[in-house]
Amino acid sequence: MTPAPALPVAISCGEPAGIGPEIAAKAWAALRGDVPLFWIGEPAHLPADLPFLLIDTPAQAAEALPRGLPVLHHAFAAPNTAGVANPANARGVIDVIARGVDLVRTGQAAALCTAPIHKKALQDGAGFAYPGHTEYLQALAGADRAVMMLASEQLRVVPTTIHTALSDVPRALTPALLRDTIRITDDGLRRQFGIAQPRIAVAGLNPHAGEGGAMGREEVDWIAALVTEMIAEGYDLRGPLPADTMFHASARMAYDCAVCMYHDQALIPIKTLDFDRGVNVTLGLPFIRTSPDHGTAFDIAGTGVANPSSMIEAIRMAHRMAQGTYRT
């Protein structure tokens, strides 16, 4: 019996004035023989030399894929100028994300890969009330909390606090928040990455993980106790570990993901190791969502020089996660 074809990955257009349309086109050229996919957006925003085919449903994507980028048309209010965000298109960007979520949740698409958005344009043009993609997706899904993971073949990291000023991190970082982050990370590694018993490294907050209280007391006062408590509950954890010694090659072999305390502690190592191919994965949602780990890059939009590597990896990772074939 011939197996049913794999469901396609839905790609939301993101900010049309950024590099999203260009890298989606390049991703189609790279992946059309391997990964079923389709793009949701206004075809007039795509590169002029890109072959595309309009589809009525995601089920038509597989047949169209060899001949051009399958496009599920979504009308936008205004034309597009590369490098210049038009707030009139903000509602279209927001609605495309919601449409992609609906297609995944109704079983018409395998996963959602989102191109970068420009938050100020969305706020100015449509009163977008969310800090970013992650929080909007969390609201659309009705999820209690979503967690941001950055993943590549070399490293996976999760920041416990994200877009928080460094001076505010010690107040924002609580036992409940760290526990919840570890729990969601463990569940995501099991369900979406197929790791039966995830090994999670927990970074310390302070230099040298506090060095016994000499350089900060959070580790002594509660982080170590929380790690011990969760180990007793069955989690495979190690830490709190000094952040300056947990990311070299041999150290990374001992864990599947590092849970970090703040944004740069997590993102500096992965961007140093694999700047072009890191992927943003949202854990805690009832569907698979990935995104390239970069922004709209208005300064190079429309020039044809944008590197599509992160978008290609984001689409490929979403497909593999949906197929249950993701392994590192």
> Mind spelling out the 3-state secondary structure of the chain?
CCCCCCCCEEEECCCCCCCHHHHHHHHHHHHCCCCCEEEEECHHHCCCCCCEEEECCHHHHHHHCCCCEEEEECCCCCCCECCECCHHHHHHHHHHHHHHHHHHHCCCCCEEEECCCCHHHHHHHHCCCCCCHHHHHHHHHCCCCCEEEEECCCCEEEECCCCCCHHHHHHHCCHHHHHHHHHHHHHHHHHCCCCCCCEEEEECCCHHHHHHHECECHHHHHHHHHHHHHHHCCCEEEEEECCCCCCCHHHHCCCCEEEECCHHHHHHHHHHHCCCCCEEEEECCCCCEEEECCCCCCCCCCCCCCCCHHHHHHHHHHHHHHHCCCCC
**Is residue 307 part of an annotated ligand binding site?**
no
Predicted pLDDT at 88: 94
Predicted pLDDT at 276: 86
Give the residue among 206, 31, 220 at the shortest CA–CA distance from 113: 31
Q: Which residue in the block uniquely carries the two structure tokens 């949740």?
A: 105
List pLDDT tens digits, range 287-311.
999 999 889 999 999 999 999 999 9
State the first-to-last Cα distance of the chain, in angstroms, to the nearest integer. 30
**Is residue 271 part of an annotated ligand binding site?**
yes
Predicted pLDDT at 1: 38
Predicted pLDDT at 181: 98
> What single-letter amino acid sits at 276?
D
Q: How many residues does the chain have?
A: 328
- Flag residues of the chain having pLDDT under 70: 1-5, 325-328
Predicted pLDDT at 33: 83
Q: Which residue in the block uniquely carries the two structure tokens 């569940």?
A: 187
**Is residue 163 part of an annotated ligand binding site?**
yes
**Is residue 263 part of an annotated ligand binding site?**
yes
Predicted pLDDT at 326: 64
List pLDDT tens digits, range 201-242.
999 999 999 889 999 999 999 999 999 999 999 999 999 999
Q: Look at the pTM and tell me if it is higher than 0.85.
A: yes
Predicted pLDDT at 187: 96
Q: Which residue in the block uniquely carries the two structure tokens 């279209």?
A: 92
**Is residue 289 part of an annotated ligand binding site?**
yes
- Please give the domain boundaries of the chain with CATH numbers for all domains: 1-146+283-328 (3.40.718.10), 154-273 (3.40.718.10)
Predicted pLDDT at 259: 98
